[in-house]
Chains A and B, each alone.
Chain A
Amino acid sequence: MQTVKMVVTGPFSAGKTEFIRSVSEIDVVATERKISSDSERAVKQATTVAMDFGRITVDEDLVLYLFGTPGQKRFDFMWEILSEGMLGFIVMVDSTRPETFREARSILETFRAYAPTPYVVAANKQDVDDAWELEDMRHALRLDGKVKLLPCVATDKDTVKNVLLELLYSILAEMEGNEK
């Protein structure tokens, strides 16, 4: 049996757990705890303290695992461990919370330093009125024009599938680029 993994990362409450839950064939093994800090509790009631874990069986020989990183900064020691051996990674950003963009950029830079694998950025909650436009987010996140910034609604399976597919297309393109 071959296994490959992708990592879903991003700031606290960006929608990583919902993203994995939308496509995982098993109930996501989410290690969520009640939040102790007042400011964080205002955003959500529970957060991922270790990692989320989802699975997609491709065939009898191949399984894809999706790992969600803990969003809170104090668990960033887990990031390097989770990034080891990943096929690629997804940075989730909540389009309605510009106060998290700087942290998202910092997480992206950290993961790029850990592993030179392809990645995409998923702009979550694009269905909400308060969401920033993708091009504004691209500038605020200082993303190069070549980086894929994709609209996403973490609870909508189709947009989640699209994000995963775009990441896989990038992985394939990089393989083909390396051949030349």
Chain B
Amino acid sequence: MALRGNLRDFTVTQLLNLINLAHKTGTLVIEAPNEVAKVSFRDGKLSYAQIGQDDGHLASILHKTSRLTTGQLRAIQLRATHVSDKELGLLLINAGHMTQDDILSSLQSYFTDMVRRLFTWIEGSFRFENDMMPPPDRITVRLDLENLIIEGARQLREFEQLQDEIPSLEMALRFTERPGSNLQKMNLSVEEWRVVSYISPKNTIQQIASAAKMGDMEIRRIVYGLIQAGLVEVVRPDGAAPVQERARPAIPVQNREEQKSLVNRLITRIRSI
């Protein structure tokens, strides 16, 4: 079934968050008014990216990341037309021209830049194709998405959207217990680390903002980024008054066994409809 929609309703950051949390494999296709982007993922990690008319070949990427000169690129394009990316990579390594790490870091840097470009896209439709992967001759990478998600969240400027995402500053935060989320691997800014240092179910977001001397907009943006990256979740603060019980009981009998009996009668009746 479809994972499709519009960038007005789901930002690229939110899509990356979903792909990361659901460990999705496939290709996110984004069709903006003037360009089409195809970003592939394996098990929720960035694998490959291509935007617009870029051919996405290794030689072009190495040229764009200044690993190959224009002359070298032209020579490869003329004389190695039937060589796959993987074969070209091996040839360059065997010739001592560059190392495997050089190639992988060039690809990682290029794909990351492609995704960064997408953060500025606010118009267009998206769909996730589970069966679409980059051509098999291409070299793919495995990049965690958390840092990219944090970067994307930093660019969110719409206060109304932030208010929708974090409606109340009277809630607290706690670190998620999700396996795989690792704070040490994150590239957090000084301000983000300051917020992280105050995170506790005892502190409301408002209290953290006061302690860190931040305004509503700034604290919301940082908290939004941490939530999107799957590092924290919003909880009711410790010590907060419990939700007020209603004066009128939900079940019109007091005795526990009678209450259970009433629910069981409802179950029997619904089953019989």
**Contact indicator A3/B248 (Cβ below 8 Å):** no
Does A135 touch B at the CB level, under 8 Å?
yes
Does A179 touch B at the CB level, under 8 Å?
yes
List CB contacts (< 8 Å) of B222-273 with chain A.
242-243, 245-246, 248-253, 256, 259-260, 262-267, 269-271, 273
- When A3-B252, A85-B249, A116-B242 are in contact, do A102 and B164 touch as well, CB less than 8 Å? yes
Residue of B at shortest CB range from A116?
B243
Does A131 touch B at the CB level, under 8 Å?
yes
Q: Give every chain A residue within 8 A of B10 (Cβ-Cβ).
A: 98, 140
Does B2 touch A at the CB level, under 8 Å?
yes
- When A113-B243, A129-B2, A131-B1 are in contact, do A2 and B9 touch as well, CB less than 8 Å? no
**Contact indicator B22/A136 (Cβ below 8 Å):** yes
- Among A9-17, A31-39, A43-51, A164-172, the stretch that binds chain B is A164-172
CB contact between B6 and one of A85, A99, A168 (< 8 Å): that residue: A99
A58 and B269 CA atoms in complex are apart in Å by: 6
Q: Give every chain B residue within 8 A of A64 (Cβ-Cβ).
A: 266, 269
Does B167 touch A at the CB level, under 8 Å?
yes
Q: Give every chain A residue within 8 A of B213 (Cβ-Cβ).
A: none
Q: Give every chain A residue within 8 A of B266 (Cβ-Cβ).
A: 4, 58, 62, 64, 168
**Contact indicator B263/A171 (Cβ below 8 Å):** yes
Q: Give every chain A residue within 8 A of B269 (Cβ-Cβ).
A: 56-59, 64
**Contact indicator B1/A129 (Cβ below 8 Å):** yes
**Contact indicator B1/A133 (Cβ below 8 Å):** yes
Q: Give every chain B residue within 8 A of A62 (Cβ-Cβ).
A: 262, 265-266
Q: What is the minimal beta-carbon distance from A157 to any residue of chain B, in angstroms? A: 7
**Contact indicator A23/B264 (Cβ below 8 Å):** no
- When A87-B250, A98-B10 are in contact, do A179 and B256 touch as well, CB less than 8 Å? yes
A87 and B250 CA atoms in complex are apart in Å by: 5
Residue of B at shortest CB range from A168?
B267
A130 and B262 CA atoms in complex are apart in Å by: 39
Does B5 touch A at the CB level, under 8 Å?
yes
**Contact indicator A2/B18 (Cβ below 8 Å):** no
Does A146 touch B at the CB level, under 8 Å?
no
- When A87-B251, A116-B242, A136-B3 are in contact, do A172 and B8 touch as well, CB less than 8 Å? no
- When A130-B2, A131-B2, A140-B18 are in contact, do A56 and B250 touch as well, CB less than 8 Å? no
Q: Can you show 12 pairs from A to B with CB atoms below 8 A apart?
A: A56-B269, A62-B262, A85-B250, A99-B5, A99-B8, A106-B164, A113-B243, A136-B3, A157-B273, A161-B273, A168-B270, A169-B267
A115-B246, A129-B2 given; 17 more Cβ-contact pairs under 8 Å: A2-B252, A3-B252, A23-B273, A62-B265, A99-B5, A102-B164, A109-B167, A131-B2, A132-B2, A139-B17, A140-B18, A157-B273, A165-B267, A168-B266, A168-B270, A171-B263, A175-B256
